[in-house]
Structure formats: structure tokens, C-alpha cells
């Protein structure tokens, strides 16, 4: 017996405290790269992760508590089950929660709107950019002047109040006065077709009413045509520029 004790003491003295997990001077980085690590408890149970170890420790602590009169088991068989299987009691009472850092948390999503393609909702939110000026004209009920294009130049202009528009510059106007230029050849009488037929009766039968177009001569080739309509929609591809009507400022 006297020969064994000195050897054990020599082994304890040779252990580096930085490699002893029970020591206050334990260095985990050094223990990872060390060739010969000191393991005090060689028969210790191996766990897959820290969550398993925490649940086992919680179950062990719960078993060490003194049971009250209401928590006492009814039979000796139940006592033996709780002592032999401490993990089942811990997992059933409290679920395992994964621990995340603040930047590792899941991103909170936003619920999509069901009617996101509604033009009224888009007008309330606004499109941004120059279209916000159109929104101010529409809300303040200011009369605007819109120049329109043709295939190789400016066709004319029209004035009115904006009722609705979208991001493609399709604009709906009310109380519209449209002015455009046209060649005189379109308005001259054609002798080859004989007398012109009056279609007013057919139009009344179809309940159609066309606006009256007035023409004013500009020069030898062109006339200026004017008509007034209650409502009109201008396509965005025909819009050149939108401005405030100077005559109504």
C-alpha cells in the first residue's frame, strides 16, 4: 500500500492545471491541441450537444429536490423509474429551446395583401417621382394641359381635370376640351361620291351622340379642330408633357 500511494501522488503532480477540466486554470484551447489530455472521469457519459447535457442536468437537479406530500410517488416502482431514467422526466416537462444570437434570429415576414393590384390603393400610397405632381393636381382639382403626339410630331393638346392615372401615364380626364391640327384635305367636299347622306336619324336610333367639332383655319394647309367631351382617357404612349393650365391659374 505504501508503494501505490506515492505513484498516485506523482501522477497528480505531473498533471498540468491548464489541461485539468476541474481546475480554475483550465485552458480549453490548449486542451484541444494537446496530444495527451488528462481525463479525470474516464467512464463519463457522452452527449451529442449542449442541449442534451442541460436537460440531463435539469433532470438530475429535479431528482435531488425533496418531494412534497403532493408530489410523493404512490409506489416504489415509480420511484425506481424516476431514478433510473432522469432524462424522460426532464424532456416531458420542459422543451429544448435552441439559443440564437440576435443576428441569427429568423427574419419576420410580412403578410402579402390580397388585393395588391388595386389602382385605388396604389394611388393612396403614391408612385413617387413626377407622378406625385399628378396626384397633387388630382387632389386639388386643378385644370391641367396635356400635349399629345402623333407619329412624327405634336398632334395638339387637351385640357381637363385629372380623375385617375397609373404608372404608365394612362390618364382619365373630365370636362375635356381637345384641340388638334388637321390638314384641310380631310374637310373639303369630295365630288366623286355625290351627295352626302345625313346619318343623324341612325345615330339617334343607336342612342349615340358625337361631340360637335369646330374647325378654324390656320393657314393654307391646316385647320385647328376643337371639341368638348365630358370624359376622355389618354394613353400614356400619346402623352408628351403634362402641365398646369395657365388660363385657369
Q: What confidence score (pLDDT) does residue 118 get?
A: 74
What percent of the chain is predicted at pLDDT more than 90? 22
Q: For residue 104, what is the DSSP state?
A: G
Q: Please tell me the predicted confidence (pLDDT) of residue 177.
A: 94
Specify the CATH architecture of the domain 127-189+198-248.
Roll (2.30)
pLDDT interval class at 2 (50, 70, 90): very low
Place of cell 403578410: 111
Distances from the Cα of 212 to the Cα of 78, 98, 162, angstroms: 100, 77, 22
pTM above 0.85, yes or no: no
- Of 32-36, 40-44, 75-79, 138-142, the least confident: 75-79
What is the distance of C-alpha 79 from the center of its chain?
56
Surface-to-core class of residue 241, CB atoms within 10 Å of its CB (0-12 exposed, 13-18 middle, 19+ buried): exposed
Q: What are phi and psi of 183, to 5 degrees?
A: -70, 150
Q: Where exactly does CATH 2.30.30.100 map onto the chain? A: 127-189+198-248
Euclidean distance between CA atoms 182 and 150, whole angstroms: 11
Beta bridge partners of 207: none
Q: Averaged over 160-189, what is the pLDDT? A: 87
pLDDT in tens, 198-248: 777 888 888 877 888 888 888 888 899 999 999 999 999 999 999 998 876
Of 68-77, 133-142, 200-209, highest mean pLDDT: 133-142
Rg (CA), the chain: 45
More reliable by pLDDT, 243 or 131: 243
Q: Give residue 145's pLDDT.
A: 95
Mean pLDDT of the chain: 78
What letter would DSSP give residue 185?
Answer: G
What are the tens digits of pLDDT across the range 79-95? 455 555 555 544 456 66
Amino acid at each position: 500500500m505504501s508503494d501505490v500511494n506515492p505513484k498516485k501522488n506523482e501522477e497528480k503532480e505531473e498533471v498540468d492545471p491548464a489541461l485539468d477540466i476541474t481546475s480554475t486554470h483550465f485552458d480549453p484551447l490548449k486542451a484541444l491541441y494537446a496530444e495527451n489530455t488528462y481525463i479525470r472521469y474516464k467512464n463519463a457519459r457522452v452527449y451529442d450537444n449542449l442541449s442534451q447535457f442541460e436537460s440531463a442536468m435539469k433532470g438530475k437537479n429535479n431528482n435531488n429536490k425533496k418531494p412534497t406530500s403532493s408530489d410523493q410517488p404512490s409506489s416504489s416502482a415509480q420511484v425506481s423509474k424516476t431514478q433510473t431514467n432522469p432524462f424522460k422526466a426532464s424532456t416531458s416537462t420542459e422543451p429544448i429551446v435552441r439559443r440564437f444570437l440576435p443576428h441569427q434570429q429568423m427574419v419576420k415576414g410580412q403578410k402579402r395583401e390580397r388585393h395588391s393590384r388595386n389602382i385605388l390603393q396604389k394611388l393612396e400610397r403614391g408612385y413617387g417621382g413626377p407622378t406625385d405632381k399628378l396626384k397633387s393636381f388630382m387632389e386639388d382639382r386643378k385644370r391641367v394641359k396635356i400635349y399629345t403626339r402623333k407619329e412624327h410630331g405634336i398632334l395638339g393638346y387637351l385640357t381637363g381635370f385629372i380623375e385617375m392615372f397609373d404608372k404608365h401615364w394612362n390618364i382619365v380626364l373630365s370636362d375635356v376640351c381637345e384641340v388638334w391640327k388637321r390638314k384641310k384635305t380631310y374637310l373639303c367636299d369630295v365630288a366623286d361620291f355625290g351627295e352626302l347622306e345625313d346619318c343623324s336619324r341612325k345615330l339617334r336610333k343607336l342612342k349615340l351622340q358625337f361631340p360637335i367639332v369646330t374647325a378654324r383655319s390656320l393657314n393654307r394647309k391646316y385647320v385647328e379642330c376643337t371639341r368638348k367631351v365630358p370624359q376622355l382617357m389618354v394613353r400614356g404612349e400619346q402623352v408628351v408633357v403634362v402641365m398646369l393650365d395657365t388660363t385657369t391659374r
